[in-house]
Amino acid sequence: MSKHPLQYLEVPRREPDKESAEERVGHFGEIYGHYDGASAAAQAGRCLSCGNPYCEWQCPVHNYIPNWLELIEDGKLFEAAELSHQTNSLPEICGRVCPQDRLCEGACTLHDANGAVSIGSIERYITDEAVAQGWRPDMSNVIEMGKRVAIVGAGPAGLAAADVMARNGVRSVVYDAYPDIGGLLTYGIPPFKLEKRIVSQRREILEGMGVQFVLNTRIGEDKAFQDLLDEFDAVFLGMGTYDYVQGEFPGEDLPGVYEALPYLVSSIYKELGYDDPSVPYTNLEGQRVVVLGGGDTGMDCNRTAIRQGAASVSCAYRRDEENMPGSRREVANSKEENVQFLFNRQPLEIIGKDSVEGVRVVKTALGEAGSDGRRRPEPIAGTEEVLPADAVVIAFGFRPDPPSWFDEYSIETLPSGRVRVASLGNYPYQTTNPKVFAGGDMVRGSDLVVTAVHEGRQAAAGIVRYLES
């Protein structure tokens, strides 16, 4: 427990400094500063050390949050880093991209009255500062098992699986189609939320733990899946979801309509200095942009278009602000950067002759809850309007797109395209092919980075048990 039980009253919640909107829209770098040791300790000391820590339960990986907050208050940085990594393989990344307002901080006892403990920023500080001071994972007690596992996909699920297996003495080789690791951490999340040096740093840490990466390699094309079954003792699939959800309304095929992910990837390729003809750069400078969708991907598109110099950016979402699925922090950042939100607007058609001219929408009201528990938007007759636009970015989310070779290797999928895995028993996340495990978005459906980390870790634990049997 904090040495000063009333510190939450004496020390107000304070996040690291954030660049002004006027400054940050001129570049693609991260917008948040960093705590120093004293600030991190003061903020960590605001924790009440609740007997039943709601923050811990609301965290998908169940981080030992009060425990590492206490270590930071006591100045025990390396111990905090070790403890943080016991539950989370990518804490410095989750500290940046998790919607803490809907997870740990939203569940903090101090959330409503005094301001939640700034858990995300402290989590980021722990690994950033520890690594800068020379900390690396303690592998001194690891006993090699003499087994090898192939991991398909270097996104958060695959990286988390590699981390857990390395700590259990299992060697892994991670294959990925991209030229660097991270999956959408590198190529989908803009650098103003996650600078790519952070992902590169994690690669260096994992390689130091014995993880090997084979990049620019697409399994099923550049290397046969059968080769993995022949060469390795088990295989983990963490290939994510890349098939974008269409609106299924007229005009989606007009020039000037863009899918969210290729748009974001093209911008990141340009920022990274890649010259790849297969990924042409989409520049929305000077254009009136309408983004359709209210999740974090939509917010990423909003803020990317602003930085490209769009004449205006509007974001239309069919429910109200309270029911947006994205992080409230990212909505606030978008607003500060002059994105205009149009809530309760459902798109009906993208209009134009030779290219986009606008989006026809109808106003909605929220009706009864559907099977997913969310209130359904219902169109209001006579409220149609046209939003002028030169470009439209569709950000309705992603769904699994299982490769054709799954059938050949008896890897079953659900009607949704998600991979069927075992949820109980000795080997969680085992597919219908006993030698193959899977986790992350291709199992759960498109979700948060932290849930993919959790499933990668759980699957790795199942693989270790499988290899020991």
- Cβ 55 vs Cβ 107: under 8 Å: yes
Question: How far is residue 35's CA from residue 45's CA, in Å, rounded to a whole number?
Answer: 14
Residue 360 confidence (pLDDT):
98
E strands, 238-344, in order: 243-244, 257-259, 288-292, 312-316, 340-342
Q: What pLDDT score was predicted for residue 3? A: 63
**Fold matches, 7-132 and 244-397:** no
Q: What is the pLDDT of residue 423?
A: 80
pLDDT digit string (tens) for the chain, length 469 residues: 456 677 877 899 999 999 999 999 999 999 999 999 999 999 999 999 998 899 999 999 999 999 999 999 999 999 999 999 999 999 999 999 999 999 999 999 999 889 999 999 999 999 999 999 999 999 999 999 999 999 999 999 999 999 999 999 999 999 999 999 999 999 999 999 999 999 999 999 999 999 999 999 999 999 999 999 999 999 999 999 888 888 889 999 999 999 999 999 999 999 999 989 999 999 999 999 999 999 999 999 999 999 999 999 999 999 999 998 888 999 999 999 999 999 999 999 999 999 999 999 999 999 998 888 888 999 999 999 999 999 999 999 888 889 999 999 999 999 999 999 998 778 999 999 999 999 999 999 999 999 999 999 999 999 999 999 9
Question: pTM score, two decimals?
Answer: 0.95
Q: At what angle do helices 196-208 and 156-167 cross, to 10 degrees?
A: 30
CATH code that applies to domain 244-397: 3.50.50.60
Name the nearest CA neighbour of 460 among 246, 156, 249, 115: 156
**Looking at the chain, how many residues does it have?**
469
Q: 100 exposed, middle or buried (CB, 10 Å; 0-12, 13-18, 19+)?
A: buried
The pLDDT value given to residue 112: 86
Give the three-state DSSP class for 286. Answer: coil
Q: What is the rounded CA–CA span in Å between residue 73 and residue 37?
A: 9
Q: Identify the CATH homologous superfamily for domain 148-241+400-468.
A: FAD/NAD(P)-binding domain (3.50.50.60)
Could you give phi then psi for residue 414, rounded to 5 degrees? -80, 170
Distance, in Å, from the CA atom of 288 to the CA atom of 1, rounded to the nearest integer, reads 53
Q: Which CATH number fits domain 7-132: 1.10.40.60, 3.40.50.720, 3.90.110.10, 1.10.1060.10?
A: 1.10.1060.10
User: Would you kindly state where each structural domain of the chain is located, as residue ranges?
Assistant: 7-132, 148-241+400-468, 244-397
Q: How far is the first Cα of the chain from the last one, in angstroms, to the nearest whole number?
A: 42
By DSSP bridging, strand 234-237 and strand 148-152 are: parallel
Output the 3-class SS for 3-18. CCCCHHHHCCCCCCCE
Say whether 355 sits in a helix, a strand or coil.
coil
**Could you tell me what percentage of the chain is helix, strand and coil, using 3-state DSSP and rounding each to the nearest 5?**
35, 15, 45
Contacts of 88 (CB under 8 A, 6+ apart): 61, 63, 94, 123, 450, 453
Contact 96, 193 (CB under 8 A): yes
CA distances from 83 to 20, 39, 43, 196, 328 (A): 34, 20, 18, 24, 28
